[in-house]
Chains A and B, each alone.
Chain A
């Protein structure tokens, strides 16, 4: 894995733009981080390109995050954080998904580390990943209805019991008897 001469570094934005000219929608440089917004249909190829191309070699998959921009459209966004260990560089690939039940292809064939992250995105946000080997709920119970991290899902908190509403809440609160 370690070569005698360090590999020639290439600019990931230039490379991705060159290889997938119609898939790149936007490039953002903010606080020293590079974000490349790409088309969801090409995400697997772009990930494979980032991992395998000499000079890019983003081999460590850091994180996949899903964000809900309700009520904007497109509603969901997925951020894939890639890290190149030998070049010590980070890259974020961002994908916007429209609709309330979006589908996107799973990246597990390229980065096995994303397996559980995609399950979490499905469980908490409701994004379906096609081609995922094991699409099941991971953090919530099996029979849970709804996707908790969505913006239109309530927080589910309980009203705090103060002296003025003590009796009212005491009546409704389920207490185990035995």
Chain B
């Protein structure tokens, strides 16, 4: 294990020489013709702890080598040591801007493997909260992206809007961000009565505000100058490099997991999937802003369809019984006891469940050996793939454009490093 010496801190930083990078940088770096610059893990524009080793020819980026792992938390290994429910808490903290989406991917995998039915009220509530999380994530993206490119006002507006959504999350689950609200079989607890009016008030207000913020950016000549023609990704490259989500849709490829392989009754909702044309930063910006309007549309439809009924499955092998039942039924006590002491067991096998996170395809591969702990959990996280595509996206553009490109891919380092 790498020891941390407190006495000589400087010695612990990267000790490599240029020769180590022989295959990765061009030969001009070895002779000193181009400059190697470290855009280190602590940097205001990298949206987290991402280290980029840039080879610069003046201001132009010749090569860009990302170095990730500064936020590696060992979540996958830690989940193997906990029961399925306890491991759910850790999934929130992977992609911290999309906590409910991570929960959803994990719960869908468990439900697929255990063949647990989910009642309709829970499915529609999941759709609503997942779309709220998508709006949440896109607002943070909008704020930080525009902050990077110099427009500080939009950041303050976006975070103000976010407070309304976080209030709704707190109403529903008690926590602002890491809610762990989705459980295998449905939801943790029923939606409170104030949920529908609060959400309706937010939805009535939000699209108008979003239109106001668009007037600051969408037709702004400064914004257009800084984002059009930058970081162009062709559709063939997007598919070959495995990009998904708004990054791929900005290049014109119409692919959305919610339409292609619908989960949690997304097939019953009517919404469009916005796509771009040129595959540059501006198109990705437009795609994400339009996605926010579409999310509002989905939530409005879901609110009309929200039925009354159970919020979690009745399958007592996986779902604990309500407390009232414990006083009257012996089986309920036994189920409660088994679930709380050792947790539920899933049948042996492996599944892969994918959802559409605000960044792309978030997949959960779950392999079970019949025990109470997951044998192997792997998350296919979109940011991991997007950062690997960054080296291709950034070639040939200037250093200032690199900031715009990183912002447009909307990477979250917790998602990348897990």
A79 touches B242 (CB 8 A): no
A15 within 8 A of B: no
Q: Which of B67-75, B165-173, B179-187, B325-333 contacts A (4 or more CB under 8 A)?
A: B67-75
Choose among B1, B72, B241, B260 the residue that contacts A112 (Cβ–Cβ < 8 A).
B241
Q: Give min CB distance, A9 to chain B, whole Å.
A: 15
With A31-B349, A65-B378, A88-B260 in contact, do A139 and B113 touch (Cβ < 8 Å)? no
Most chain B C-beta atoms within 10 Å of own C-beta, residue among A142, A145, A148: A142
With A81-B380, A112-B241, A140-B69 in contact, do A63 and B365 touch (Cβ < 8 Å)? yes
Contacts of B387 in A (CB 8 A): 116
Within 8 A of A (CB), among B113-133: 113, 115
With A31-B113, A138-B69 in contact, do A145 and B1 touch (Cβ < 8 Å)? yes
B240 within 8 A of A: yes
Choose among A32, A65, A120, A155 the residue that contacts B78 (Cβ–Cβ < 8 A).
A155
B68 touches A63 (CB 8 A): no
A106 within 8 A of B: no
Q: Which of B219-227, B350-358, B399-407 contacts A (4 or more CB under 8 A)?
A: B350-358
- Complex Cα spacing A13 to B74, Å: 36
B261 within 8 A of A: yes
With A60-B242, A90-B352, A116-B388 in contact, do A143 and B2 touch (Cβ < 8 Å)? yes
Most chain A C-beta atoms within 10 Å of own C-beta, residue among B16, B69, B78, B81: B69
With A31-B351, A144-B2, A148-B74 in contact, do A116 and B361 touch (Cβ < 8 Å)? no
A68 within 8 A of B: yes
Q: Give min CB distance, A96 to chain B, whole Å.
A: 13
A169 within 8 A of B: no
Q: Which residue of B lies closest to A146 (CB)?
A: B1
Choose among A68, A111, A139, A141 the residue that contacts B240 (Cβ–Cβ < 8 A).
A111
Q: Give min CB distance, B386 to chain A, whole Å.
A: 10
A112 touches B239 (CB 8 A): no
Contact-residue size bin, chain A (C-beta under 8 Å from the other chain)? 35 or more
Contacts of A138 in B (CB 8 A): 68-69
Q: Give min CB distance, B263 to chain A, whole Å.
A: 12
Choose among B23, B241, B260, B352 the residue that contacts A133 (Cβ–Cβ < 8 A).
B23
B241 touches A81 (CB 8 A): no
Q: Give min CB distance, A75 to chain B, whole Å.
A: 13
Contacts of B72 in A (CB 8 A): 139-140
- Complex Cα spacing A144 to B3, Å: 10
B239 touches A60 (CB 8 A): yes
Dominant SS among interface residues on chain B: mixed
Q: Give min CB distance, B356 to chain A, whole Å.
A: 13
A149 within 8 A of B: yes
- Complex Cα spacing A112 to B14, Å: 28
A62 touches B112 (CB 8 A): no
Most chain A C-beta atoms within 10 Å of own C-beta, residue among B16, B76, B352: B352
- Complex Cα spacing A61 to B352, Å: 13
Q: Mark B83-118, 1 if CB is under 8 A from A, else 0.
A: 000000000000000000000000000001101000
B417 touches A139 (CB 8 A): yes
With A81-B365, A145-B1, A176-B6 in contact, do A116 and B380 touch (Cβ < 8 Å)? no
With A65-B378, A115-B388 in contact, do A59 and B239 touch (Cβ < 8 Å)? yes
Q: Give min CB distance, A138 to chain B, whole Å.
A: 6
Contacts of A141 in B (CB 8 A): 2, 69
Contacts of A128 in B (CB 8 A): none
B363 within 8 A of A: yes
B76 touches A149 (CB 8 A): yes
Q: Mark B232-272, 1 if CB is under 8 A from A, else 0.
A: 00010001111010000000010100001100000000000
Q: Give min CB distance, B369 to chain A, whole Å.
A: 9
B28 within 8 A of A: no
A33 within 8 A of B: yes
- Complex Cα spacing A81 to B364, Å: 11
With A63-B378, A116-B384 in contact, do A134 and B24 touch (Cβ < 8 Å)? yes
Contacts of A148 in B (CB 8 A): 74, 77
- Complex Cα spacing A118 to B376, Å: 17
Contacts of B113 in A (CB 8 A): 31
- Complex Cα spacing A99 to B16, Å: 32
- Complex Cα spacing A85 to B259, Å: 12
Within 8 A of B (CB), among A151-178: 153, 155-156, 176-177
Within 8 A of B (CB), among A14-69: 30-33, 35, 59-63, 65, 67-68
List, sorted by A's number, 28 A–B pairs whose CB atoms are closer than 8 Å.
A30-B349, A31-B351, A60-B244, A62-B242, A62-B354, A62-B361, A63-B352, A63-B365, A63-B378, A67-B376, A85-B253, A90-B261, A90-B352, A111-B240, A113-B240, A113-B388, A116-B384, A116-B388, A117-B384, A134-B24, A138-B68, A139-B69, A142-B16, A144-B2, A148-B77, A155-B81, A156-B1, A176-B6
The 8 lowest CB-CB distance pairs between A and B, nearest first, are A113-B242, A63-B380, A139-B69, A116-B388, A65-B378, A139-B72, A67-B376, A65-B365
Q: Which residue numbers of B lie inside 8 Å of A, CB to CB?
A: 1-2, 6, 14, 16, 23-24, 68-69, 72, 74, 76-78, 81, 112-113, 115, 235, 239-242, 244, 253, 255, 260-261, 349-352, 354, 361, 363, 365, 367, 375-376, 378, 380, 384-385, 387-388, 417
